Structure 1
Amino acid sequence: MISLHLTRWLLGYARFSVVGGSHERFLNNCARSGIYLWDITGGKDGGACVAVQSYRALRPCARRANAKLKVRERHGFPFATKGIRKRRGILAGAVLFMVIVQLLSLHVWSIEVAGNSSIPTEQIEAELVRLGVTPGTLKSKVQPQMLQQKLMLEFPQIGWLSVNTRGCSAQVQLQEKVDRPLIVGSQGETVCNIKAARTGQIVSMNVFTGTAQVSKGDAVVEGQLLISCVVEDKLGYMSLRHAAGKIIAETSRSLTTEVDLKRAEVNPTGKTLTRRCLYLFGARVPLTFAGKPEGEYRAEGVHTDLKLMNAVLPLGFYEEKWTEEKSRQITLTKDQAIAEAKRLMEQKKKEELKDAKILSVSEDTQFTDSRLIYAIKVKCEENIAQESEILIK
């Protein structure tokens, strides 16, 4: 029923009245001529509805019935657009708009990446650009299977990935791999010895599992066996275990760092330039007509995508800030070089001796024509127990 009303409205129809003559004869003439009427009413102003294209055929039927026809109402698309049809510019614009929309719907205008946590979105988008998927790419050229394979090869930390085109958007859904937790089994499942990670003299020993091969006060070298995985029970039977223990030894460590006495120092001058542009359907529209500045500048850019109902629109803004910098050659004094070397050495000590107890430190400073070599010898106490797994077939 709805389709019938919609068809009548699209084709257009008119409601008319039959004035004078014989109404019954008029209706009979219409039936003989095959003219379809609906909503027929009787009475003095009786009439009916008829399709626009059939209205002219009613006149001979009315003349044979000595009646006249009078149009009361006009309905449908042809009458609703009667005024617009006279304005060809509006019709041409409507047709052009439909063509443009159809052409735009064949392209990908936004790229959405979801599910990533450790992998930056910018890296995935850059890889998609390298593979040829950018705003404005034809959807027919997007090959999901190929993209899935190449993205997973490029990012091994991805466990699952899918690429789909929905509307004018390319959606990349992924799930990163979860590192398998270290499963510590019962004794005997993993067999390993404890060896010395460094050369030193043992200060204290705590053997949790296994058979100790050294004693407190012994001097050991790197790689020497400290705790054996072979354990003998009270009955004299041997078994292999997962050796474990804490061996604290006094060790000596040497750390070295170097500082260049001559270097280039870069400082901002305070002069900045901001450039903005609009990205619309993959095209870049400049909003600031300043050109790229000449000289030494440091550029920082921020791209902002516009969203509607969590959907990325093919519209975005890009703003880049250029900061002028001046570089000059400077020469560090001995005191400045030593202070810089000590600062770097403190960072190195935190990284390499973070679990060690420092007992004493001796320094050695050597200057060349262009460099400072700063070295220290550290005596410390640290845990030198290192697991060495034994593979048994």
Structure 2
Amino acid sequence: MVAIKLWNFLKGYVIIKIEGLSIEKFLNLIMVNDVYIWDIERKNYTTIVAKVSLKGFKEIVSFAKKTNCRVSVISKRGLPFVISRLKRRKSLVLGAAISLILIYAFSTFIWEINIETVNNVNEKVVLEKLSHLGLKPGVSKFTIDVNKIETEFLLQNNDISWIGINIKGTNAFVKVVGKTKPQEVLSKDEPCNIIAKKDGIIYKMTVLEGEAVKKAGDTVKAGDIIVTGIIEKPGLETRFVHADGQIIGRTWYEVYADAELKKEVFERTNNKITVTKIIFGNNTITISPKKVDFKNFEKEEKEIISKNFPVRIIKEVYYETKP
């Protein structure tokens, strides 16, 4: 079925209206002479509408005269008519061709660099360093070696643990993760105590070094000593050690929040508006049958063409909602 429709489009056809009192005789002549005609629809006793090939249309004109029927063209469809219209609009065709060439040319460049940083990495510094490595707005995508830039960036910046560069369309998405400073830990030779960081109850504890001040089941407050590094025993010299052990405790948190006693629930009506957006770089063309003037609505968004394509087409559907 699709192949037939495509063939009819390539060859061209016309939608015609046939009027007269001898329509049956007219149709018989068409059938006898093997004229290709389809989608015949009878409007009333004296009128039918049908589709006929260009070659067939030339033949049925003579049949109309023989049967005293009148044939009029409602619409012309297919590639031959498209080409004919384009020939009359050479400047339009030329402009469209130039536009396509420019779109393709611009799509081979990077126009925007998006930076995402983790662990207090300065975005401006990252942009400057990437620019020195060759990744900057206006550069051709064909000249960018992502792996090389990532490697060089890490070698030149000891405070960075990871960088990822992902090129999509005319955008470059860069994520940079900074190194986290290791937590300061006292030397094993330095005497110290183990203290409670939060209020809580000791669930389980194992002392490896030092003297236990608290035991499992005890309640402690923040700052209380759990294991002391001062070991005092009668008749022995006082020792100062680095308290060590594993302490597992239970603590609690208080959270307050406000909740509505009543909540209004909105449901979709049968009204909706579809908006199509064509996006190229920072330019957006919006195609909408009318303004979205719903007081309350839900929005669904679907990307028709992949982000990897230089021109993005996004379909937005707005559904009216009412309580």
Structure whose CA Rg is larger:
1
Q: TM-score, normalised by structure 2?
A: 0.49
TM-score by length of 1: 0.42
Higher relative CO (CA 8 A, sep ≥ 6), structure 1 or 2? 1
